[in-house]
Structure 1
């Protein structure tokens, strides 16, 4: 929930930074303003401030893209938290089941995958290969969203562009809480996921073609991996 007196400039600046960090191409200030619903002059001031501290930079066409500062911040955060370092071993052992293995964190109403490896994929390729993903389309994201109370989810949906009705989301989250894990059924594959941490900060999951009979085994393996990731911390 927002504090009683949130800093609007800080929030808008973070929105600009997040938009550029998740964009596949550099964006001009007017495009940033349009996507975020900001006044062009305000967006321009925020972008110039972020560029001044080198969190973003301009290309030869004067469009904005992530700068060295954000890459340094990302490296520092991964080193400081140790999450990736702790997770690689336990995640690698999950590949014995023959499914896609993933780990990620929740960012507002989107899932951010830190690790996403198809069977046989090299670990170096699995790191950071997928960007933000709508939470309702992610088993891992729904597992993490289920850790929030309904009031927070409703508040999130009030400003979300997600087209899934909030009442449907709340129904799905109630089922996840009751089961103790998330199961998402896609057109050709299914995903099963559990959270990491007593105060959940990440989720791990496996996706593939498996039957209901395989779910207990996969959930058990995921819970063991989650315990190992947390224990190493």
Structure 2
């Protein structure tokens, strides 16, 4: 009986710690101990111990203003998560690029930027619009940047295009990253994984117009592979 109680208490502590980590890393400007205590509905001393333990492993760091933010220890975890994302996404993206005849990319949030983890060009195409893996642009700019912001929880001051993308499930832009190019992006919703999206870029308006349905289906398929 005592062992069962200790196991249950340990599971609860782990769950709280993971939830605290999620809260801190998704907050735009970090969180205080009191913020975490209130969101977890625990005493301030418990929140403080959880954050101190996370800080010991460099998963969070306490700034001079007393707010906790993501720590450098998350980088190693992110590398593993990104490898998992790329492996799961590659076949889905290959099929999608062939179906739509356009370049498909997988992008994630990194700081204030959207970063391309994987880029897939359509097979046999004589001319495609593409970019390199590792390319980045600011969040909120281009379809991928808007979709990544829309993947987060609503916040005061969200731009109109972010609100619209959140409501309809995809972001569509024109000429924001590449002059004359259409972009369409759909978030990939997998609890516990960082914000990611599938993005299409093309000069062809008719391809962009029919892309949301295919991108949404591919994103749902990928989410199932990752769940």
Query: TM-score, normalization: structure 1?
Result: 0.56
Deviations 1:60-90 (A, max 9, x none): xxxxxxxxxx7x76653445xx221111110
Unaligned runs of 5+ in 1: 19-69, 155-168
Mapping for residues 91-170 of structure 1, pairs under 5 Å: 91-96=93-98, 97-120=100-123, 129-151=133-155, 154=157, 170=159
Look up the SS of the partner of 1:195 in the other structure: strand
Structure 2 partner of 1:221 = 214
Structure 2 partner of 1:195 = 187
Q: Is the 8 A contact 2:152 2:195 kept in 1?
A: no
Residues 106, 76 of structure 1: alpha-carbon distance in 2 compared, 3 angstrom cutoff: closer
Look up the SS of the partner of 2:204 in the other structure: coil
Unaligned runs of 5+ in 2: 1-26, 34-60, 125-129
Mapped to 1, the partners of 2:219 and 2:106 lie a distance apart of 10
How far residue 226 of structure 1 moved from its aligned partner, in angstroms, is 0.9
Q: How many residues align?
A: 157
